[in-house]
Structure 1
Amino acid sequence: MPIDVKPHAYDPGTSPELFEGVLARRVLAFAIDFVVIAIPIVLAAMFIFAFGVVTLGIGWALYWILSPASVIWAICYFGATLGGPRSATIGMRMMDLEMRTWYGEPAYFVLGAMHAIAFWLTVSFFTPFILLVCFFNQRRRLLHDIILGTVVINNAARAQSLRMAGVHA
């Protein structure tokens, strides 16, 4: 059974507008996504606290579920948003970014969920200095992008506006 090896769909040499400013906007998108993920967790913690007060401390036993629920919530958030029709989290949408496979296809739920897991594992095991990998490759991919075969690029509207403005003409 032959394996169909596909070429890279996005070339920074021929389409630099796809990669223009992606790194800085990716950091801002991460911060936005962090807030989006944190809000329900903080609300749940406040509810558990209030429930504990009402039940004279018995309800505080629910705090044990907060940590695993946070992980599940984050994985589902990234899987659903990156695997959605726009292949972007809420933060990425606000920053006009999208994630694609290296051969140009949109992301899907499992890829989005694995992207989040791979990010947290690489940063946890290799320290945040692993994020410096993006400065040593043309497509500005991070280690977890390389491992999973993804690339984060400007969305079509932003790329077109950069092309029309002649940013790299």
Structure 2
Amino acid sequence: MNDHRDITPAGGRPRGFRLGPDDEASDGLGDDRLNDPALVDGITARRILGYLVDVLLLGAVGVAGHLLVFMTLGLAAGLVYPLLVVLPLAYHTYFVASAASATPGQRLLGLEVRRLDGGKPGLLQAFVMVALFYMTLTLTSGLLLFWCLIDDRARCLHDIFSGTLVIRSDRLAAPAAG
């Protein structure tokens, strides 16, 4: 007997996280529009600068954390230091899965992350992308990040394996009105 019930609220979309495309609209972008070379023109330099902005923001939080530990004479160390370790992963995941689909550094430089069908990544897909980024960065000292220099859409390996694409949001044209 199959006791599989549909628990989706009437008129709502299914809940939960999916790594692949989900049931929400793909924001009007299709595969053809994502293949436009203008969307990824100059993306590598923008990604690097955007990441540096994010590192500066995270560094400021890190300094504040260290000051808190200092001001509490080390009593806050057991709480602050574990949080500082997971902060970059949480920061990037949250912002990539947000409505803006970009970290503050990416937004500043006119970038956003998209799924390959044009939609915005969900929380699980954003987490996988960010976790793969940090694994690539850690395990290879960043050498695998150079893959974007030979990829036709400037995708790094963590983008490829997570099914995402970083595009220039300033080059997205509004979908034609029907």
Q: What TM-score comes out, normalization by structure 1 length?
A: 0.77
Post-superposition CA distance 1:64-109 (Å, at most 9, x none):
4333202332222112211111101000000000000122111222
Asked whether the equivalents of residues 83 and 109 of structure 1 are also in contact (C-alpha less than 8 Å), the reply is yes
Which residue matches 1:133?
A: 147
Identity across matched positions, percent:
26
RMSD of aligned alpha carbons: 2.1
Which residue matches 1:32?
A: 53
Separation in 1, partners of 2:31, 2:94? 25
Alignment-mate amino acid for residue 153 of structure 1? I
Asked whether the equivalents of residues 52 and 105 of structure 2 are also in contact (C-alpha less than 8 Å), the reply is yes
Alignment-mate amino acid for residue 27 of structure 1? I
1:1-169 equivalences under 5 Å are 8=31, 10-11=34-35, 15-52=36-73, 60-155=74-169, 157-160=170-173
Between stretches 68-77 and 32-41, larger displacement belongs to: 68-77
Alignment-mate amino acid for residue 26 of structure 1? R
Q: What TM-score comes out, normalization by structure 2 length?
A: 0.73
Distance change >3 Å, CA 115–CA 71, structure 1 → 2: farther
Count of equivalent residues:
145
Separation in 2, partners of 1:8, 1:142? 19
Which residue matches 1:167?
A: none
Separation in 2, partners of 1:152, 1:128? 18
Alignment-mate amino acid for residue 38 of structure 1? G
Asked whether the equivalents of residues 62 and 84 of structure 2 are also in contact (C-alpha less than 8 Å), the reply is yes
Asked whether the equivalents of residues 37 and 153 of structure 2 are also in contact (C-alpha less than 8 Å), the reply is no
Asked whether the equivalents of residues 87 and 108 of structure 1 are also in contact (C-alpha less than 8 Å), the reply is no
Query: Gapped runs of 5+ residues in structure 1?
Result: 53-59, 161-169
